[in-house]
Amino acid sequence: MATDYYAVLGVRRDAGQDEIKKAFRRLARELHPDVNPDPKTQERFKEINAAYEVLSDPQKRQVYDLGGDPLSPNGGGGAGGFGAGAAGFGFSDIMDAFFGAASGQRGPRSRTRRGQDAMIRLEITLEEAAFGTTKELQVDTAVTCTTCSGEGAAPGTSAQTCDMCRGKGEVSQVTRSFLGQVMTSRPCPQCQGFGTVVPTPCPECAGDGRVRARRTLTVKIPAGVDNGTRIQLAGEGEVGPGGGPAGDLYVEIAETAHPTFQRRGDDLHCTVTIPMTAASLGTQVPLQTLDGIEEVDIRPGTQSGQSIPLHGRGITHLRGGGRGDLIVHVEVQTPTKLDAEQEELLRRLAVLRGEERPSGQFAPGQQGLFSRLKDAFNGR
């Protein structure tokens, strides 16, 4: 024959099928008309198609090697074009050339699929977050239909093989193009690609194999959880179509605000306001902590803005032992309304302390961000 199919694909005469297919895929990606519309390239593409059709079919290749014409009606090759032999070139080979072997996967899809994950928000108090708790949740999710046990068919019936695709889940169509015959496949419109049909769907679930129901779950909340913490409950989510395995249920923690404490990580913060006299003389202030009432020791001379730590009175660490701290911030309150006797006492105190006309102590105001950056670059 005039055409050297081995030279067209660029392979040796003793090349194996894998090497021939690899060479064809490489050339098809370069010369496909959708990639390169040049007429000369289209002619070249026809040549590699013909070469691959012959060399990929053992019978046609044998006829070709013996000097015969494998593409003639009497040469053992049958009609030219796509899909002509047991191992002939078809639409799937083009798809494999561009998208890999995965595009050639065929077969009906399963009616049984994994269900979706679900999420529910759970509000807990600060005390519950600090020490952990156990909660009962009511969730509405899809569960397996008990009438049909997830099969989707009415009791006493079953799914039947689709008579349109004969259980393959897809139908094929052959069309002609300038390249020859092209076979395309698409999901079967009658069975939606499942390969089976349900003539009599279950009246309870309408053939889906699942129904919605309310369930009660017991959830253990570990100590130390915070806002946004998600607790995974495996297999407690939505049951999949066809009675498939359930997804997971995620419980997202939402911590409610506390009237006294503000949480920062595992530490708690609060502010206690005391009069000027108590700050000067010192006192003890009872504070209701998470562990009960404790006396906060205000030392004499305490200034406004000072903080008093109570170690180990905060939130339990979620990972690892121990707890955070409780930080008490002191705010000294200056009296605004004085009667005559109180004003006289304060004036006498000011005289005794030499503070009738205090000069005050001044310090630079707080610098802004750009001022601090400027000083840093200037080496100050």
Q: Closest by alpha carbon to 11, among 3, 1, 23?
A: 23
Residue 318: inside a domain:
yes
CA neighbor of 24 nearest in space, from 102, 110, 106, 97: 97
Domain at 36, CATH number: 1.10.287.110
**94 occurs within a structural domain:** yes
Q: Tell me the pairing of strands 249-255 and 118-124.
A: parallel
Stated as kind and residue range, the H or E segment containing 6 is helix 5-9
pLDDT digits (tens, 9 = 90+) for 173-204: 777 665 666 777 888 988 988 899 999 999 99
Query: Which runs of consecutive H residues, i.e. helices, occur in 221-368?
Result: 276-281, 340-352
Instruction: For residue 34, name the pLDDT band (cuts at 50, 70, 90).
Output: low
- Does 287 reside within a domain? yes
pLDDT tens digits for range 212-230: 999 999 999 999 999 999 9
Question: Is 357 a domain residue?
Answer: no
Model pTM? Answer: 0.61
The range of the structural domain enclosing residue 307 comes to 262-347
Name the pLDDT band for 14 (thresholds 50, 70, 90). Answer: confident
* DSSP assignments along 158-218, one per residue: --EE-TTTTTSSEEEEEEEETTEEEEEEEE-TTTTTSSEE-SSB-TTTTTSSEEEEEEEEE
Last residue of a domain, one of 70, 89, 104: 104
- pLDDT at residue 119 greater than cutoff 90: yes
pLDDT confidence bin for 72, thresholds 50/70/90: low
Q: How many CB atoms lie within 10 A of CB 20?
A: 21
Question: pLDDT category, 75, cuts 50, 70, 90?
Answer: very low
Task: Tell me phi and psi for residue 257, to 5 degrees.
Answer: -70, 145
184, part of any domain: no
In a domain, 172, yes or no: no
Domains in the chain, number: 2
CATH number of the domain residue 293 falls in: 2.60.260.20
In the predicted structure, residue 263 carries a pLDDT above the cut 50:
yes
| Domain stop point among 104, 126, 157 | 104
Give the pLDDT band (50/70/90) at residue 375. Answer: low
Residue among 152, 115, 118 at smallest CA distance from 239: 115
Output the average pLDDT for the chain.
Answer: 83
Tell me whether residue 377 is in a domain.
no
Would residue 301 count as lying in a domain?
A: yes
Q: Highest mean pLDDT range out of 113-122, 265-274, 338-347?
A: 265-274
